[in-house]
Amino acid sequence: MKNKIKKICCIGAGYVGGPTMAVIAKYSPDIQINVVDTNEKRISQWNKKDLTLLPIYEPGLDQIIEKTRGINLHFSSEVNKNIEQADMIFISVNTPTKTKGLGAGQASDLKWVEACARQVASFAKGHTIIVEKSTLPVRTAEVIKNILEGSKSKKSSEEKDIKSFEVLSNPEFLSEGTAIRDLEKPDRVLIGGENTNAIEALSQIYLNWVPKEKILQTNIWSSELAKLTANAFLAQRISSINSIGALCEATGADVREVARAIGTDSRIGAKFLDSGPGFGGSCFKKDILNLVYLSKYFGLPEVAKFWEGVVDLNNWHQKRISELIVKKLFGTISGKKIVILGFAFKANTNDTRESSAIQICKDLIQEGALLYIHDPKVISEQICNDLNASLIKEGESKDKGNYWFRVDDITSSLKDADAVLILTEWDDYSDINWDLASKIMRHPAWVFDARSIVDSKKILASDLNFWRIGDGSII
Ligand code: UDX
Ligand code: ADP
């Protein structure tokens, strides 16, 4: 077959690049895959013998790494050399929201993508297929193409003839925590592009484990927009159910019952209807803000306003939770001990990007609370960074007023606590001994369950006060 891929280079060894390449390596033993990253610390973590020290936690990932690493999957910081040798290059670098300049707060910062494209333009040899994996704004492929084409015109005519590029969009739909399952059994694989040979070459890789009917081909712009749209629709469902949750609390309804009632309507479906502390993760907010920016740019302010509402609701919802806690604790939490269970943006990941826990904890600290934070996978350094290391340090002197402590043993941390707030649905939190907790907490003590994870009957049987997200039926 024309364009049979033998060497892949993946630029970016993060939450997308790492697991995606591991799964491709597992099912494509004939392909040599080099995952490269400029972050040498990250690369050395990927190469650690002890698989519990991989830079990202993802169930099942360690087993695949064990079987493929050093055989057809390699991690290295030699970016240029690996670009040069590859016949297919995946771009899996970070694309956070811009913090300054044109489009600040909404548009994606493409500086890392642009830097990648320039590196590829300089070092690639022969015919190279470039695959966009990062979540990108619509028409980024055009930017990449322009950079690649521009670089060719600067070369001598001899060199010009031997370099050629094709750009494909192949957005990633994996969800953290279930990344390996999502990659191995995807609902669909989307490939956007113009060149049939390039599309065929990428399809052949996926066909090693994905049924043909699940590989969808579209034009490149539809593929880029489909990724943003999928995330926007999912996030919209969460804001919708969280808005209804607030109404449930006010009216005596229970959001779980409402979700079940509407989820059985096959047109609505049951997934993504769990009310929680608000959506987090690296994609939802960023992708919606991208849609907002695009809509404004193309003169569609009503469309922009519609999607902006989804993010506004999420921000309001996070504030609502911290305000509610202050209210329940007699209007002040100054000097009160609150145990926070969970800091990751969801269970089964060590990722904290855009986690609701960040804003909620900051708000509680601003109100003067003493936070005792537990998370089975998020390290203290990460929590410190997220809570703004310059303001709030782990174990900082009480005199400064702003501080938090790490919790390793949940039961002992509950001693003299005024409240417990559950923010991530880790299994560890579902079987806490609330009877014992009640004996050692300071009364009147509260349990705030923002994930509906604890057994409400057990709590209500103890003498703890209980609040559960979206549950207006608790008296
Ligand atoms: C998301 C998309 O699901 C995935 O397809 C895309 O590739 C990347 O973005 P991810 O961010 O890993 O994946 O997590 P996801 O499971 O979608 O959850 C996002 C947030 O929504 C989490 O904070 C989660 O707790 C929250 N959520 C999810 C809810 O509050 N309720 C739900 O019912 C589902
Ligand atoms: P994602 O969730 O999209 O995978 P991450 O932030 O986890 O995002 O990973 C992106 C990775 O891309 C980071 O480890 C970063 O160091 C890497 N990266 C960014 N730009 C470049 C570049 N020009 N060359 C190599 N690696 C890069």
CA 94 / ligand 2 centre spacing (Å) = 5
Mark 353-364 as b/e (b = at least 16 C-beta within 10 Å). bbbbbbbbbbbb
Beta-bridged to residue 216, according to DSSP, are 190
In the chain, the amino acid numbered 344 is A
CA 51 / ligand 2 centre spacing (Å) = 21
Mean pLDDT of 445-460: 94
User: Residue 116 has which token pair?
Assistant: 């990648």
Q: What percent of the chain has a predicted confidence (pLDDT) above 90?
A: 83
The ligand whose atoms approach the alpha carbon of 358 most closely is 1
In the chain, the amino acid numbered 17 is G
Output the pTM of the full model. Answer: 0.92
Residue that has been written with the tokens 């926070």 in this structure: 340
Q: How far is the CA of 131 from the CAs of 7, 144, 275, 347, 441, in angstroms?
A: 13, 10, 35, 30, 54
The residue contributing the CA closest to ligand 2 atom 5 is 14
- The residue to mutate among 284, 288, 356, having the most atoms of ligand 1 within 8 angstroms of its beta carbon, is 284
- The residue to mutate among 56, 176, 291, having the most atoms of ligand 1 within 8 angstroms of its beta carbon, is 176
User: Residue 470 has which token pair?
Assistant: 């979206």
Tell me the pLDDT tens digit for each residue of 55-109.
998 999 999 999 999 999 999 999 999 999 999 999 999 888 888 888 888 888 8
445 and 353, same structural domain? Answer: yes
The ligand whose atoms approach the alpha carbon of 119 most closely is 2
Asked if residue 465 lies in contact with residue 446, where contact means CB atoms within 8 angstroms, the answer is yes
Residue that has been written with the tokens 């031997």 in this structure: 162
pLDDT in the model for residue 345: 98
The tally of domains found in the chain comes to: 2
Tell me the pLDDT tens digit for each residue of 264-308.
999 999 999 999 999 999 999 999 999 999 999 999 999 999 999
In a domain, 283, yes or no: yes
Tell me the pLDDT tens digit for each residue of 242-259.
999 999 999 999 999 999
What's the CATH code of the domain at 136?
Answer: 3.40.50.720
43 and 109, same structural domain? Answer: yes
Between 146-155, 199-208, 302-311, 412-421, the lowest mean confidence (pLDDT) is in: 146-155
Q: What is the CA radius of gyration of the chain?
A: 24
CA 193 / ligand 2 centre spacing (Å) = 23
Q: Annotate 330-349 with DSSP letters as a single string.
A: TT--TT-EEEEE--SSSTT-
Nearest to 194 by CA among 217, 219, 169: 219
The ligand whose atoms approach the alpha carbon of 96 most closely is 2
End of a domain among 184, 218, 252? 218
424 and 407, same structural domain? Answer: yes
Cα(416)–Cα(391) distance, rounded to whole angstroms? Answer: 26
275 and 203, same structural domain? Answer: no
Show the domain range for 26: 7-218
CA 281 / ligand 1 centre spacing (Å) = 7
The H or E element containing residue 70 is: none
Mean pLDDT of 38-48: 97
281 and 132, same structural domain? Answer: no
Does the pLDDT at position 202 exceed 80?
Answer: yes
Entry field: residues in the chain = 475
On the 0-12 / 13-18 / 19+ scale of CB atoms within 10 A, 6 is exposed
Does the pLDDT at position 213 exceed 80?
Answer: yes
pLDDT in the model for residue 282: 92
Cα(426)–Cα(375) distance, rounded to whole angstroms? Answer: 8
Please state whether the peptide bond connecting residue 96 to the residue before it is cis, i.e. omega within 30 degrees of 0: no
269 and 317, same structural domain? Answer: yes
Helix axes of 220-251 and 140-154: crossing angle, nearest 10 degrees: 150
- The residue to mutate among 9, 21, 37, 114, having the most atoms of ligand 2 within 8 angstroms of its beta carbon, is 37
End of a domain among 155, 189, 218? 218
In a domain, 2, yes or no: no
Active site residues: 283
Q: Sorting pLDDT into bands at 50, 70 and 90, what band is 171? A: very high
Q: What is the DSSP letter of 427?
A: G
Q: Sorting pLDDT into bands at 50, 70 and 90, what band is 389? A: low
